Amino acid sequence: MDDAARKTYRPWEPQRYAHQAHTAAAKLPEGDLVFFLLDTVPQLDLSRFYGYYEDETRGAPPFDPAEMVCLLLYGYCVGVFASRKIALACERNLAFLAIVGADRPDFRTISDFRKIHLDAFVDVFVQVLRLAATVGLVRLGNLAIDGTKIQGNASRHKAMSYGYMKKEEQRLRAEIDALVQHAQGQDAADDAALGSRRGDELPEELRRRQDRLAVIQAAKQRLEEQARAEAEAERQRRQEAEAERQRTGKKRRGKEPAPVTETPDDKAQTNFTDPELKIMKTNNKGWDCCGNAQASVDGTCQIVVSCDVVDAANDKQQAVPLAQAARSNLAEAGIAPPTDATGQARKIPATLDNGYYSETAMQDLEKLGFDPHAATGRQRHHAPDAAAAVGPLPAEATAKEKMAAKLRTPQGKAIYARRKAIVEPVFGQIKGVRGFRRFLLRGLAKVRGEWRLVCLTHNLLKIWRYGCAPSVS
């Protein structure tokens, strides 16, 4: 394609901004984060961003996608997430001015760009992961997996339980019936008063109640579909447990479980503002509308290898999808698995807390090329460590007993002890240091994209701090 046919964008000349009065180059340290991003972003392959605009010839030239990507990355790196705050910083903050210059995007432009290109940041995530490996920050000696609850962009007061929905549905139906009967009783008087109008327009009060009734019925249907899916999963779990008992010859302990029901519990809740997120238990706050943010983190320098957000409150089913995403990202980034002394690829140690443990998940992780080290139960604080296994386990030992014995060996204990120091500080840095405690977007797909952007900028900060930030003597 010749230059005349190419899409035109608003000029972006950060080199020229550096020579203006009160420039970032004159005021900020040479190794500041903004200069690192201004050098890094032009080296990234942003063709997926540019491709969105190439076929559109109408309207004024858009902002250069490289400029907008750099602006969003810097904002998320320094804890400025809202589009209005980013736009305000572009007017008052010297580092932001070093990116945008005099032609500053407004908050709507920033917000729309983020929503449109959330999926395109998948490519940037992989490129940054490749960059981290190139500078030696990813070695796959220990991949720690964990999750944290992050509030959704919805109030818990906009949620309703299934039991209350049934009562509210009955109340609204009774009120609608009463209004209809009242309207029908006034037909003759209404015809005389309305004149040429038909007189059968739906009353505003009736329409409001019908609208609310429709919203509640849709919410009930969501809960009922969710209950049916959970019932099917519970049936599958019971079948697997029964097959395991048949294999080992063990008898069921305790009472016979209650029959599986497909009816939602009266306490089951859904949110009207963002129905794709659920009410979850949070630390020290009771219950709130949250997403369960997942991350797998490499132990060398706390680089996030894969990430996701799910609507399940527990982590039981999340280990395998996250490990699959990690393998995919590593392959796309060209990062080979570690090798042993003979040059053969060895399994990547993976550490997980007891919330992720299931026999099926551990088997699947091994098939994916991981060496799982997962706690099989919760250990009480300050409790003495269990004695290391002596001698081989009996042939009839269960997978759970084998995993527990594996973690009691000196090597297993040393690998698992690193889990907390690898993955949990990442969540502290994201939530405590940068202040990302609530998603700005709604809907599970957009929430996942925003979490990916957060983890991507976490990796950029690690690369900058380890390799490019000015050292303090």
Residue 110 vs residue 254, higher pLDDT: 110
10 and 98 part of one domain: yes
Let me know how long the chain is.
473
3-state SS assignment for residue 291: strand
**pLDDT tens digit sequence for 55-98:** 777 777 889 999 999 999 999 999 999 999 999 999 989 999 99
Please report the pLDDT score of residue 160 as a whole number: 66
Please report the pLDDT score of residue 185 as a whole number: 65
Residue 90 vs residue 263, higher pLDDT: 90
99 and 133 part of one domain: no
Q: Is the pLDDT of residue 195 over 60?
A: no
**pLDDT tens digit sequence for 131-157:** 999 999 999 999 999 999 998 877 767
323 and 455 part of one domain: yes
Q: Is the pLDDT of residue 462 over 80?
A: yes
**pLDDT tens digit sequence for 157-172:** 766 666 656 676 677 6
Please report the pLDDT score of residue 61 as a whole number: 85
Please report the pLDDT score of residue 127 as a whole number: 95
74 and 30 part of one domain: yes
**H-helix or E-strand spanning residue 33:** helix 33-40
In 158-212, which ranges are E strands? 159-161
| pLDDT band for position 212 (cuts 50, 70, 90) | low
Q: Is the pLDDT of residue 416 over 60?
A: yes
| pLDDT band for position 4 (cuts 50, 70, 90) | low
Please report the pLDDT score of residue 161 as a whole number: 67
Q: Comparing C-alpha atoms, which of 338, 400, 330 is closest to residue 372?
A: 400
33 part of a folded domain: yes
310 and 453 part of one domain: yes
300 and 432 part of one domain: yes
Please state the rounded mean pLDDT for residues 21-46. Answer: 87
Please report the pLDDT score of residue 303 as a whole number: 96
243 and 129 part of one domain: no
Q: Which residues of 335-363 are buried (b: 16+ CB within 10 A; e: fewer)?
A: beeeeeeeeeeebbbbbbbeebbbbebbe
Q: Residue 403 sits in which domain range?
A: 124-155+275-468
Q: Provide, rounded to the nearest whole percent, the portion of the chain with pLDDT above 70.
A: 79
The mean pLDDT of the chain is 83
3-state SS assignment for residue 342: coil
264 and 359 part of one domain: no
Please report the pLDDT score of residue 353 as a whole number: 92
Please report the pLDDT score of residue 472 as a whole number: 38
| pLDDT band for position 417 (cuts 50, 70, 90) | very high
243 and 329 part of one domain: no
Q: Which residues contact 289 (CB under 8 A, 6 or more apart)?
A: 151, 152, 154, 155, 156, 158, 159, 271, 273, 274, 277, 278, 279, 280
Which of 271, 303, 327 delimits the end of a domain?
A: 271
Please report the pLDDT score of residue 55 as a whole number: 78
Residue 139 vs residue 236, higher pLDDT: 139
Please state the rounded mean pLDDT for residues 303-310. Answer: 96
Domain count, the chain: 3
241 and 167 part of one domain: yes
**pLDDT tens digit sequence for 175-192:** 667 766 766 666 556 555
Residue 276 vs residue 451, higher pLDDT: 451
Q: Of the ranges 28-32, 181-185, 298-302, which one carries the lowest mean pLDDT score?
A: 181-185
| pLDDT band for position 470 (cuts 50, 70, 90) | very low
Please state the rounded mean pLDDT for residues 222-247. Answer: 75
Parallel, antiparallel or unpaired: strands 143-151 and 286-298: antiparallel
Q: Comparing C-alpha atoms, which of 154, 202, 211, 199 is closest to residue 179?
A: 202
Which of 271, 301, 319 delimits the end of a domain?
A: 271
Q: Is the pLDDT of residue 426 over 80?
A: yes
